[in-house]
Amino acid sequence: MIPYGRQDISDADIAAVVDVLRSNFITQGPAVPAFEQTVATYCGTAHAIAVNSATSALHIACLALGVGPGDVVWTSPITFVASANCALYCGATVDFVDVDSTTANISIDALRAKLEAAKVSNTLPKVVIPVHLCGTSCDMRAIRALGDQYCFRIIEDASHAIGGRYLDEPIGSCRYSDITVFSFHPVKIITTGEGGMAVTNDDELAQAMNLLRSHGVTRDPALMTGESDGGWYYQQVALGFNYRITDIQAALGTSQMARIDEFVQRRHEIADWYDEHLVDLPITALARPDDSYSALHLYVIQLELDDTSRSHRAVFDSLRAQGISVNLHYIPVYTHPYYKQLGFQAGMCPMAEAYYARAISIPMFPTLTRNEQTAVISALKQACAA
């Protein structure tokens, strides 16, 4: 089986983890701030808060922006469920903005139209969470302009996108957003096993997220009320969680960061080769706009079923049967039973549903070999043959 995604762990990565295991701290030690500093420097952001998953990062990002009951958060329907669940964790309601047909990222036209309608009905969002699908940036300049006009805050879900760039700056620079979130799950661009991070240029948001990831507890006298009782003293000043990442994971993350540009470059070589070899097939790849250097977490193909008698499902099943472990990113979030029970109905985002009806993610990871890519293409030819 050729998987759709896989981590690349080097001897140096293993040595970095072993070093931590032999050191005094396997959690709450120096490897965590070192990892945060590495990512903050790479992205050009003032602050980085490492946590145990991107899901946790999205949750504390929403809380730091004050999302709570009565608030509305908007995101893309073509994403992993965590991008929407984070709003529900805070007691807010969530809604979905349809996607662009060429990138499957949030559609600026759909966003503008939905904002105009929400203004009339007094249901404007407090926060919008654009998702950089496959590692390709959304049109952040346009989203930020709308944010300024309609007074919403922005969290970039860049779970797919560390190592990518937008308008010649790293994704994560937060030039057009309040907070950017990364995931370090093994299929993503770099890995810590499980792990995530929130980056921001805002001192107060950073301080709030820092407290929330560790029980809302502080030892910083500047954050306490009243006097310290003594050297042992700490205070709980907010209701936080244990969302901490370990030093074991952070050391792996820092070591992986040394190869991030290499990883993304390799993903581009793989994508360019796919682009060339898909031309004779009834397939369109997702667009990678010129203003963006995609991190290429995924390579999504869209089947042009009009020209073939095979169904989407038949092509998918045939690829799996031929040993290509394809996947589908993603099922429109609001069509899941949990969301249907909240009142969402099929048909609300027609572009997202049209995308879902013909998308397939084919293998994409740095160690994918040319021979494996050739096998993917010939399996696709077989699968698409009527």
Ligand X SMILES: *Cc1c(COP(=O)(O)O)cnc(C)c1O
**Binding site residues, ligand X, CB under 6 A:** 53-55, 79-80, 82-83, 131, 157, 159-160, 183, 185, 196
Shorter beta-carbon distance to ligand X: residue 114 or 160: 160
- DSSP three-state, residue 74: strand
CB of 231 to ligand X, least distance (A): 37
How many Å separate Cα 22 from the centre of its chain? Answer: 32
Quickly list H helices, 131-290.
140-150, 203-212, 247-257, 260-277
Q: Which is nearer to ligand X, 183 or 294 (CB)?
A: 183
Nearer to ligand X, 115 or 158 (CB): 158
> Which one, 183 or 254, has the nearer CB to ligand X?
183
Shortest Cβ 370–ligand X spacing (Å): 27
Backbone angles phi, psi at 153, to 5 degrees: -95, 165
Is there a contact between 181 and 54 (Cβ–Cβ < 8 Å)?
Answer: yes
Helix (H, G, I), strand (E, B) or coil at 280: coil
55 by Cβ neighbours in 10 Å (0-12 / 13-18 / 19+) ranks as buried
- Cβ proximity to ligand X, 38 vs 53, nearer residue: 53
Q: Is 179 exposed, middle or buried (0-12, 13-18, 19+ CB in 10 A)?
A: buried
Give the residue carrying structure tokens 């070192």.
34
Q: How far apart are CA 185 and CA 208, in angstroms?
A: 24
Min dist. Cβ of residue 85 to ligand X (A): 9
Q: Which is nearer to ligand X, 359 or 379 (CB)?
A: 359
Residues of the chain by 3-state class (helix, strand, coil), percent to 5: 40, 15, 45
Smallest gap from Cβ 53 to ligand X, in A, equals 3
Q: How far is the CB of 153 from ligand X (least distance, A)?
A: 18
Nearest distance in Å: CB 48, ligand X:
15
Query: At a CB cut-off of 8 Å and minimum separation 6, what does 254 contact?
Result: 16, 31, 34, 35, 38
CB-based burial label for 156 (10 Å; 0-12, 13-18, 19+)? buried
Say if residue 187 is exposed, middle or buried (CB neighbours under 10 Å; 0-12, 13-18, 19+). middle
Among residues 185 and 358, whose Cβ is nearest to ligand X? 185
User: Quick check: bond before 234 cis, omega within 30?
Assistant: no
Q: How far is the CB of 233 from ligand X (least distance, A)?
A: 34
Helix orientation angle between 11-21 and 247-257, rounded to the nearest 10 degrees? 150
Start-to-end CA distance of the chain, whole Å, equals 24
Please report how close the Cβ of residue 132 comes to ligand X at its closest, in angstroms.
8
Q: Which is nearer to ligand X, 191 or 218 (CB)?
A: 191
Task: Give whichever of 154 and 383 is closer to ligand X, judged by the CB atom.
Answer: 154
- Among residues 130 and 170, whose Cβ is nearest to ligand X? 130
Least distance (Å) between residue 159 CB and ligand X: 3
DSSP state of 384: H
Give min distance, CB of 279 to ligand X, in A: 29
For residue 209, what is the DSSP state?
Answer: H
Please tell me the distance from the alpha carbon of residue 136 to that of residue 263, in angstroms, as a whole number. 15
